Structure 1
Amino acid sequence: MTVAQRRGRRIMMTDAERDAYLTEQRTCRVATVSPEGMPHIGALWFVWDGTSVWLYSLTRSLRWAQLRRDPRIAVVVDDGTEYGELRGVELAGEVSFVGEVPRAGQDCPELDSPERLFASKYFGLDSMPYDDRHAWLRIAPQTVRSWDFTKLSTGE
């Protein structure tokens, strides 16, 4: 999914670059909104399945409570140290709650792929370990913006 990006087209990632980047990165920053309109930002592990960002969140967290009240969310995944190395993707939309809360492993075909990806990426396992404290959030982004400043030095 690519959203028209007026500024920065020169540094925008292609769909394939974005998918590879989101697959390899391990940590994202998640922004939610309080009832008073104040932002809350926290780091979280995630997986990307090619169309959605999947977050395995604590169900007794401020993030979870805020998303129950207001499902709007923004996620940023970025890296780089020097200016010419900066890369990242910003995804925004509304969250869906998927599966039982908290997750204990009940049959949920929609979670087969994200749980397999998450278990492999973070635990080196074939199946998801459950702790009765986390549950799944899915973001099918409405907007996607990306940047790869390494393209400035290569003249792409």
Structure 2
Amino acid sequence: MNQRARIAMSDDEVTAFLEAARKLQLATINPDGTPHMVTMFHALDEGQVVFWTYEKSQKARNLARDPRVSCLVETGDEYAELRGVLLYGRAVPVEDRDRVLGVGMMIARRMTPGVPDELLLPYVEKTGRKRLAYVVERTKVVSWDHRRLT
């Protein structure tokens, strides 16, 4: 078995890793072809990465033109501790407004663990009026867990 195969995570490990992370690096494509990278809070909905953003944001404008994305989640400081998941795919807009708010609630819960829904809902409803939500449809997954090298 080559080293790349040794350090790759299983599908269940990828899901658990993404579930445990609160933030990811989201790359979209600017009009001039350069990458636009930002840190995003996210959630998993039936195993798929979901996020939301203001409809006038650069990333939303980029996604309206070109839905291709890369999403990176990584941890570790020393080489032997490095773990990560890189997703390639398409960000598909969520059309249903109730589902947009549902994505917002999933993310708000992850950002503020322990805060009751009745306190989160007014914020999500207010900010959700100006937001879009997306589901990342994966086309390729690359993962690594360097702890397996020892």
Question: How would you bin the TM-score normalised by the shorter chain?
Answer: 0.7 to 0.9
Distance 1:115 1:35, change over 3 A: closer
After superposition, residues 38-53 of structure 1 pair within 5 angstroms as 38-53=34-49
Aligned to 1:142: 139
Aligned to 1:27: 23
* Unaligned residue ranges in structure 1 (runs of 5+): 1-5, 101-105
Q: Secondary structure at the match of 1:142?
A: strand
**Bigger shift: 26-35 or 122-131?**
122-131
Instruction: Find runs of 4+ consecutive structure 1 residues off by over 4 angstroms.
Output: none
**How many Å separate the matches in 1 of 2:54 and 2:134?**
10
1:92 aligns with 2:98: no
1:107 aligns with 2:104: no
8 Å CA contact 1:98–1:136 kept in 2: the answer is yes
Deviation, structure 1 residue 86: 0.6
Deviation, structure 1 residue 117: 3.0
* Unaligned residue ranges in structure 2 (runs of 5+): none
**How many Å separate the matches in 2 of 1:57 and 1:82?**
33
Instruction: Give the structure with the larger helix fraction.
Output: 2
TM-score for both structures, normalised by structure 2:
0.83
Instruction: Note the aligned Cα RMSD (angstroms).
Output: 2.1
1:79 aligns with 2:68: no
Query: What per-residue deviation string (whole Å, max 9, x for no partner) do you get for residues 91-114 of structure 1?
Result: 1111111036xxxxx434x864x4
Deviation, structure 1 residue 16: 1.7
In percent, how many aligned pairs have the same letter? 30
Q: Equivalent of 1:118, from 94, 107, 115?
A: 107
TM-score for both structures, normalised by structure 1:
0.80
Query: What per-residue deviation string (whole Å, max 9, x for no partner) do you get for residues 63-120 of structure 1?
Result: 11011011111100111111111111011111111036xxxxx434x864x4453232
8 Å CA contact 1:99–1:111 kept in 2: the answer is no
Distance 1:148 1:133, change over 3 A: same
Across the two proteins, how many residue pairs are aligned to each other?
141
